[in-house]
Structure 1
Amino acid sequence: MRYRFIPLFIVLLTLLSGCQSATQLSVIGFNVESGDADPNYIANQYIKPIRGVDLWGFSEVQNQSWADRFESAIEINNQADFKSLLGTTGNADKLAIVYNSNQLNLIKKEELNQINIGGSVRAALVGHFQVKSTGQEFLFMVNHLYRTNDRSRHEQARLLNRWAQKQTLPIIAVGDYNFDWDVKNGDSKRDPGYDLLTENDVFTWVRPQEIIATHCSTRYNTVLDFVFISSRPKPISASSKILYPEADYCPDTPQKSDHRPVQATFVLPKVQP
């Protein structure tokens, strides 16, 4: 199943025609390449210019100092108080969530330790949020799955699928999944982990209209970074785009990340927790 883009005026009409409990959210997932990037450069060049995003999911965050730097960059052009959550796993390649605390209440933070297979990578980082204006609750999850171990990556995808089946709230999942969706032939050429994660329509990729490689690589022309939405309950609308598609974003340099950020916008129906 693919979600098609729904024009903004239709979304607004939906919101104004009695569906007052619907919630619009904008999110970004961004691998910031700890160990081979400058957080100040990334913050100034690629984070600060972006407006209107409620939730950011970062992977490969070196430490709390990096998370704080990104948080302050987000606040500059958004006139809101953002707060950060840093995962405890992954050593110098941690996961982080930065959220708009003016719009969202954090109910609970948790880490899915079963996803950290062998204890040497990263547990999925999950924030349980409530939208202040509508009371809508949802789960926002950040992942960074194994790159070098196919078997473990596939097991991580299975475990995430099983976990999601047990949830009753909408789930928005961002991150670097290392599923190598081929830019030209991804419908038939991709890592099996993609199919294990989305099995039985538990998750659906919010597929961009224009697909380009999210990773600067001379070896692969693939999408590694995704935004998924749980299919039950189904969102009213969902769309996404890969940011900074310009050809000169790549190749990688010691200052910037070798991944492009991915942004998605949703309208979620009201669901009781």
Structure 2
Amino acid sequence: MRLLLSLILTLLIGTTAHAQSLVIAAFNVESGDDTTAENVAEDLTRMPPLHLWALQEVEDQAMLDTLVTSLNDATGLTYVGRMGSTGGRFEDDFLAYVYLEAAFAHVSFEELQAVGGSRLPLVMRATAWTGHNLTFVNNHFNRGNETRRRQQAINLRDWIAQRPQEAIIAMGTFNFDYDFRGARQGGNRAFEQFADGGHVSWPEPMCLEADNCPVTGSQCNPNYASLLDFIFLAGAAFDWPAVTDLAFLDEPFCGRDQRGYPDHRPVMGQILLGGRAETE
């Protein structure tokens, strides 16, 4: 698996007292009959031991428990899972976090009622091991209802704009249909509305610059051959140095979809907390 270049050099979890890099991923694990918890766990444990995963389409608590147990067994670390209360049309695609317990303190959760949609954004506030207070916002915007998706984008944008002092990391499946193949690169109307006002920054996946993103984008369905999954920074984190990329780029990831594996690639990110390394 091709990893972020800097990620290879700075996997600092539990190894360096002054590590400033937060390593995260957003991963739509595709709930439903064609995906199994064991196969999702296999993909999670093939990735490096991150500080936090923001997961979309977690089927139920049993699935989340399987993922957490598998990570703990594979890494020897202690991860904790937390699932939101709102699913989608079939009530089996919940939002969830899995995070390294030792990396965060003062952890709390809330769901953003004001944003709306089939799955309310799941917020996790925590103090990182560096002392930085972080606000994660896990999202899965509506796919089939463009009007609702656009309103979600506006509502979340406005919620973010009201919190300039919070270090906000918004991540997940936004369904922004960012087309990187044509002469005009850009997203759909919801993407434009979310970006309006300049309240969020987008550390674009490295595969865009390298021109080696998968032809179907961040997922496997050719009907949506674009980027649907994102990591954004906002508020106090707006200009923190960050790199992101899609995982599993050097393997036939999508060929496994019919064998019970997820149909979205994880979006991995490394963020330098506070914008600069701590001086010793």
1:155 aligns with 2:151: yes
The letter for the 2-side match of 1:266 is: I
Q: Do the aligned residues in 2 keep the contact of 1:29 with 1:57 (CA within 8 Å)? A: yes
The AA in structure 2 aligned to 1:230 is A
Which residue identity is paired with 1:39?
A: A
Summarize deviations over 1:186-244 as a string: whole Å, max 9, x none: 85442111121122221112211213211101323211111111154434310011001
- Identify if the C-alpha distance between structure 1 residues 218 and 139 changes in structure 2 by more than 3 Å, giving closer, same or farther: same
The whole-number CA distance in structure 2 between the counterparts of 1:245 and 1:239 is 16
Cα drift, residue 174 of structure 1: 1.1
* Structure-2 residue corresponding to 1:16: none
Paired residue secondary structure (2:177): strand
1:164-199 CA distances to partner (integer Å, 9 max, x unpaired)? 012221111111111111131385442111121122
TM-score w.r.t. length of structure 1: 0.85
Distance apart, 1:109 and its partner CA: 0.5
Mapped partners of 1:104, 1:200: distance in 2: 31
Aligned residue type for 1:224 = L
1:267 alignment counterpart: 272
Q: Could you tell me which runs of 5 or more consecutive residues in structure 2 were left unpaired when the two chains were aligned.
A: 12-17, 276-280
Please state whether the residue corresponding to 1:92 is helix, strand or coil: coil
Sequence identity percentage: 27
What is the Cα deviation at residue 95 of structure 1? 0.2
Residue 74 of structure 1, CA deviation = 2.2
DSSP-derived class of the 1:195 partner: helix
Q: Deviations over 1:41-65 (max 9, x none)?
A: 1212x11122231010000001111
State the TM-score, normalized to the length of structure 2.
Answer: 0.83
Residue 245 in structure 1 maps to residue 239 in structure 2: no
- The residue number in structure 2 matching 1:203 is 200
- The structural deviation recorded for 1:8 is 7.6
SS at 1:207's partner residue?
Answer: coil
Alignment partner for residue 173 of structure 1, among 159, 170, 173? Answer: 170
Distance 2:243 2:108 in 1: 27
Task: Give the aligned partner of residue 98 of structure 1.
Answer: 98
Whether the 8 Å CA contact 2:169–2:237 is kept in 1: the answer is no
CA distance in 2, matches of 1:38, 1:9: 29
In 2, the alpha carbon distance for the partners of 1:165 and 1:186 equals 31
Q: Partner amino acid for 2:140?
A: H
User: In structure 2, do the counterparts of structure 1 residues 187 and 57 end up closer, same or farther at CA, with 3 Å as the change threshold?
Assistant: farther
2: CA distance, partners of 1:9 / 1:62 = 31
Instruction: Identify if the C-alpha distance between structure 1 residues 253 and 8 changes in structure 2 by more than 3 Å, giving closer, same or farther.
Output: closer
Gaps of 5+ in 1: 13-19
Q: 1:79 to 1:9 in 2, by over 3 A?
A: closer
C-alpha distance in 2 between matches for 1:263 and 1:73: 19
Conserved in 2, the CA contact under 8 Å of 1:115 and 1:122?
A: no
Structure 1 residues 229 and 92: alpha-carbon distance in aligned structure 2, compared to 1, 3 A threshold:
same
Whole-Å separation in 1 of the counterparts to 2:218 and 2:193: 21
Instruction: Give the alignment partner of residue 193 of structure 1, picking from 175, 190, 195.
Output: 190
Moved more, 212-221 or 181-190: 181-190
Q: Offset of 1:10 from its aligned partner?
A: 11
* Separation in structure 1 between the aligned mates of residue 5 and residue 241 of structure 2, nearest angstrom: 6
* Alignment size in residue pairs: 253
Query: Could you tell me whether the CA contact under 8 Å between 2:160 and 2:235 is conserved in 1?
Result: no
Going from structure 1 to structure 2, the CA distance change for 1:223 and 1:77 (only over 3 Å counts) comes to same
Q: C-alpha distance in 1, partners of 2:5/2:265?
A: 24
Q: Is the 8 A contact 2:39 2:260 kept in 1?
A: yes
- Cα deviation digits, residues 29-49 of structure 1 (max 9, x gap): 0001100311101212x1112
Give the conservation status (yes or no) of the 8 Å contact 2:7–2:270. Answer: no
Q: Any conservation in 2 of the 1:38–1:254 contact (CA below 8 Å)?
A: no
**Structure 1 counterpart of 2:133:** 137
Which residue of the other structure, out of 255, 258, 261, is the alignment partner of 2:260? 255
CA distance in 2, matches of 1:9, 1:54: 15
Looking at structure 2, the residues matched to 43 and 6 of structure 1 have their Cα atoms a distance apart, in angstroms, of 24
Q: 2:200, 2:238 within 8 Å by CA — same for their partners in 1?
A: no
